């Protein structure tokens, strides 16, 4: 790229900047403090003049950066209007990146301080922050930086097309993930442009071009409790196959269709327009396909900042135009440099804050949306201020200041979409990312999200279950898995809100041994965190020092209706293991914390569990080395606390989890420390 000799300053949050010298090629002049900021080869902190009045005067007479700061910095403007103090301005640069001794990325913080009191001029917080982008940096040619006038989506679409092309051609992880694209949705929206107007109609996936698995996009969005009048119903089915009046659709749908058309994709899937609403049979059939629908899509459009279907995708916003500067000191040591500066939205001072705000946006709080994220290969996140790209290789913002491939954005690494990359998901040496351990992370995140209809708690997770099954070829058992089932049974549940006890359930959980029968959002669930999932028994014995494991003899499960999307009807697991009756151990604070919350809420007094004997079955036991050479190693036995349902049939309910720790004396056979005797029981 051969950029113009310029520094671009853009007020991306809506401020309007006028200037009497609009030429993009004018050689600008800077005062010495500002020149030090823009030409420094390392982070600096520079005092800009002695008072705010001096900054204003310099801007009027010479320095265009001082003049620009006076126009765009809230702190400086408020300081100039204050009659009681005479503060001064400090420019501080951080997050410095350079590859060719020219600044590629930079953050400039405008800080107004009171010199007399030697403290921040607190009335003007938070500080104004600008992001700088060097002329040779990735993304410098994007419309968000380079357009001299108001920026519409038509100008910005090339950025998305570049992302998509780069992902398809240069990302091995993403290419490998997309070998088997197949559309199985019954219907799609066909999007065309005729005489400058969008034409949309419903088409069958079994007819026309869709029979050949044409590329398509999907939309993920929040319903937000707003009624969607234009949704597909049995009465509208025939009409929608002929034509859908785009003007009757909510704003989010309209803009998703515009994005699809602008990116030259012909088909889009939107749940409320492609599934017959009010038709239980069609909903059950299509919701079961959710995994295939999202996995087969070329890209997911995410209305990430919209709280409902009326808020839109943000593409109708005009981004404010760029402001151009030139730094023209041409010496061998200091060649010409060019920057693009954008004013950061208030409250976003670093990548961590951007990460926090982004993932707290409405769409990332909804339970139904979770599986759509897990199942997507590529996501285009649309917000009011800019676009974000997410795939199996990277997460990147439209302005380029966020890019997970750079070390300064490591906090975003976990957000790349690696849930489709077998080479990543099955790394035995990395149990934190291994698919068998990530399963429990998915459960925890799903449980933390909002679910409007409690009866959807199985269907909203069915796509994730299908995806895990396709990756592992394992058999799902009500939120647990056939392989290592005895280890999965050791999950631990704790209250989502510790300030209030769980209310008694209207009906007893059935079965008791799965986390799925808890009301959605009432508990957080964790599994084993020692890397044992996916190993063979021999590997666990040699590498993790497992000394005992229970054996699953049989299981029998039945759903009330369609598997995975309906509630469990019944479920039993036959176990053979060490059975004992013990007084539950307390932690160092004297508490017993591993009892299931629904059992605790049934007690008249929580102290009933103290100093009483309970039946337990041990699921596994392992040695734990002491961290001190003077201490003995320990044997950790993990099991379930049981309540008898039918003594003759040896039928029990799970009411908690137990962990017993015993010191291992020297010169003793560890197996002799294992509690209880072997028995067969039936978990219900």
Q: Could you count the other beta carbons within 10 Å of the beta carbon of residue 109?
A: 17
In a domain, 1, yes or no: no
- SS3 string, 189-228, reads EEEEEECCEEEEEEEECCCHHHHHCCCEEEEECCCCCCCC
Question: Strands (DSSP E) along 127-266, which ranges?
Answer: 128-134, 187-194, 197-204, 216-220
Going from the C-alpha of 337 to that of each of 5, 37, 428, 653, 664, the distances in angstroms are 7, 12, 47, 71, 68
* Sheet of strand 197-204: strand arrangement: 197-204, 187-194, 267-269, 216-220, 299-303, 379-382, 387-390, 395-397
Examine the domain organization and report whether 518 and 574 are in the same domain.
Answer: yes
Same domain, 437 and 584: yes
**What residues does 47 pair with on adjacent strands?**
90
Same domain, 124 and 45: yes
Answer whether 259's CB lies under 8 Å from 314's CB.
no
Q: Is the same domain home to 378 and 438?
A: no
Beta carbons within 10 angstroms of residue 163's beta carbon: 21
Of the candidates 243, 295, 247, the one whose C-alpha atom is nearest the C-alpha of residue 269 is 295
pLDDT for 454 equals 87
Same domain, 494 and 515: yes
Q: Do the strands 379-382 and 299-303 form a parallel or antiparallel pair, or are they unpaired? A: parallel
Tell me 595's DSSP state. B
- Whole-number pLDDT of residue 103: 46
Do 98 and 238 have their domain in common? no
* 526 in the same domain as 674: yes
List, in order, residues 6 or more apart from 11 with CB less than 8 Å away: 17, 72, 320, 323, 342, 343
CA distance 41 to 267: 49
Last residue of a domain, one of 414, 438, 468: 414
In angstroms, what CA-CA distances link 108 with 96, 190, 205, 402? 10, 46, 52, 16
Per-residue CA distances from 364 to 250, 290, 357, 426 (Å): 20, 18, 10, 26
End-to-end CA distance of the chain: 67
Q: Match 């500080």 to its residue by tokens.
A: 127
Task: Determine the Cα–Cα distance for residues 608 and 649; give it in Å rounded to an integer.
Answer: 26
Tell whether 251 is covered by a domain.
Answer: yes
Same domain, 176 and 132: no
pTM of the model: 0.81
Nearest to 631 by CA among 659, 661, 664: 664
* Same domain assignment for residues 234 and 143: no
3-state secondary structure at position 342 = strand
Integer-rounded Cα Rg, in Å, for the chain is 30
Residues contacting residue 305 through CB under 8 Å, at least 6 positions apart: 311, 314, 361, 362, 363, 382, 383, 384
Q: Coil, strand or helix: which one is 417? A: coil
User: For residue 62, what are the contacts with CB-CB under 8 A and spacing of at least 6?
Assistant: 29, 31
Does residue 19 sit in the same domain as residue 69? yes
Residue with tokens 């734990």: 624
Shared domain check, 111 and 87? yes
DSSP string, 383-406: -SS-EEEE-SS-EEETTSS-BTTS
Contacts of residues 437-443 at CB distance under 8 Å and 24 or more positions apart, as own/partner, are 437/527, 437/529, 437/531, 437/533, 439/468, 439/481, 439/527, 440/491, 440/525, 440/526, 440/527, 442/370, 442/374, 443/479, 443/515, 443/525, 443/527
Q: Is residue 57 part of a domain?
A: yes
CB atoms near residue 168 (< 10 Å):
14
Q: Which residues of the chain have pLDDT under 70?
A: 1-28, 41, 74-75, 77-88, 94-106, 113-128, 134-136, 176-183, 208-212, 322-324, 326-340, 344-359, 406-433, 499, 529-531, 629-630
Would residue 419 count as lying in a domain? Answer: no
How many Cβ atoms sit within 10 Å of the Cβ of residue 132?
25
Q: pLDDT (tens digit, 9 = 90+) per residue, 253-307?
A: 999 999 999 999 999 999 999 999 989 889 888 887 888 899 889 999 999 888 8
Number of structural domains (the chain) is 3
**What local confidence, expressed as pLDDT, does residue 78 receive?**
67
- The string of DSSP codes covering 554-566 is EEEEEESSSTTTS
What percent helix, strand, coil does the chain show, rounded to 5? 30, 25, 45
What is the domain extent for residue 68?
7-149+322-332+338-342
Domain-located, residue 369 = yes
Rounded Cα distance, 397 and 62, in Å: 35
473 shares a domain with 382:
no
Q: Environment class of residue 653 by beta-carbon count within 10 Å: exposed (0-12), middle (13-18) or buried (19+)? A: buried
User: Considering the domain boundaries, does residue 205 fall inside one?
Assistant: yes
Closest C-alpha to 341, from 405, 407, 400: 400
Contacts of 561 (CB under 8 A, 6+ apart): 284
């Amino acid at each position: 790229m051969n950029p113009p000799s310029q520094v671009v300053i853009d007020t991306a949050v809506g401020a309007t900047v006028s200037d009497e010298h609009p030429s993009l090629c004018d050689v600008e002049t800077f005062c010495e403090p500002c020149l030090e900021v823009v030409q420094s080869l390392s982070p600096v902190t520079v005092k800009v003049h002695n008072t705010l009045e001096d900054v204003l005067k310099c801007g009027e007479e010479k320095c265009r950066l001082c003049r620009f700061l006076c126009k765009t910095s809230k702190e400086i403007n408020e300081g100039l209007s204050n009659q009681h103090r005479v503060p001064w301005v400090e420019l501080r640069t951080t997050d410095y990146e350079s590859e060719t001794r020219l600044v590629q990325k930079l953050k400039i913080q405008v800080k107004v301080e009171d010199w007399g009191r030697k403290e921040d001029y607190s009335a003007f917080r938070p500080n104004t922050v600008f992001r700088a982008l060097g002329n040779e940096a990735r993304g410098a040619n994007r419309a968000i930086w380079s357009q001299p006038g108001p920026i519409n989506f038509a100008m910005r679409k090339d950025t998305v097309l570049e992302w998509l092309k780069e992902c398809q051609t240069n990302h091995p992880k993403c290419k490998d993930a997309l070998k088997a694209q197949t559309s199985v949705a019954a219907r799609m929206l066909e999007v065309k442009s005729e005489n400058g107007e969008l034409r949309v109609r419903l088409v069958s996936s079994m007819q026309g071009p869709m029979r050949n698995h044409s590329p398509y996009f999907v939309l993920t969005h929040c319903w937000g409790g707003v009624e969607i009048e234009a949704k597909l119903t049995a009465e509208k089915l025939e009409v929608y196959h002929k034509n859908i009046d785009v003007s009757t659709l909510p704003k989010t749908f309209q803009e998703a269709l515009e994005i699809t058309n602008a990116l030259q994709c012909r088909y889009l899937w939107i749940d409320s327009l492609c599934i017959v609403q009010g038709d239980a049979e069609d909903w059950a059939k299509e919701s079961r396909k959710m995994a295939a629908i999202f996995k087969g899509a070329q890209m997911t459009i995410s209305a990430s900042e919209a709280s409902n279907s009326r808020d839109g995708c943000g593409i109708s916003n005009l981004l404010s135009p760029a402001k151009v500067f030139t730094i023209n000191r041409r010496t061998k040591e200091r060649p010409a440099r060019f920057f693009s500066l954008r004013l950061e939205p208030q409250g976003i001072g670093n990548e961590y804050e951007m990460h926090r705000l982004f993932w707290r946006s409405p769409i990332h709080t909804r339970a139904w949306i979770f599986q759509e994220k897990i199942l997507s290969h590529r996501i285009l996140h649309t917000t009011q201020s800019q676009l974000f790209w997410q795939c199996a290789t990277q997460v990147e913002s439209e302005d380029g200041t966020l890019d997970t491939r750079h070390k300064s954005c490591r906090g975003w690494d976990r957000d790349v979409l690696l849930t489709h990359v077998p080479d990543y998901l099955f790394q035995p040496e990395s149990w934190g990312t291994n698919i068998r351990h990530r399963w429990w992370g998915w459960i925890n995140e799903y449980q933390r999200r909002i679910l409007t209809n409690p009866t959807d708690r199985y269907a909203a997770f069915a796509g994730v279950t299908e995806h895990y099954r396709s990756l592992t070829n394992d058999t799902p058992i009500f939120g647990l898995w056939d392989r290592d089932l005895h280890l999965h049974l050791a999950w631990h549940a704790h209250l989502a809100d510790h300030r209030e006890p769980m209310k008694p359930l209207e009906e007893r959980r059935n079965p008791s041994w799965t986390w799925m029968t808890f009301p959605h959002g009432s508990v957080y669930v964790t599994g084993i965190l020692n890397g044992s999932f996916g190993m063979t028994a021999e590997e666990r014995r040699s590498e993790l020092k497992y000394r005992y494991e229970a054996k699953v003899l049989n299981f029998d499960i039945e759903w009330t209706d369609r598997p995975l999307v309906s509630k469990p009807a019944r479920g039993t697991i036959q176990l053979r293991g060490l059975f004992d009756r013990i007084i539950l151990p307390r932690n160092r604070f004297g508490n017993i914390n591993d009892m299931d919350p629904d059992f605790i809420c049934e007690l008249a007094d929580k102290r009933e569990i103290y100093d009483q004997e309970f039946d337990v079955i041990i699921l596994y036991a392992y040695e734990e080395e002491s961290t001190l050479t003077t201490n003995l190693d320990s044997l950790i036995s993990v099991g379930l606390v049981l309540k008898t349902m039918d003594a003759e049939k040896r039928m029990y309910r799970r009411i908690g989890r137990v962990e017993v720790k015993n010191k291992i004396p020297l010169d003793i056979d560890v197996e002799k420390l294992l509690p209880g005797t072997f028995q067969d029981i039936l978990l219900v």
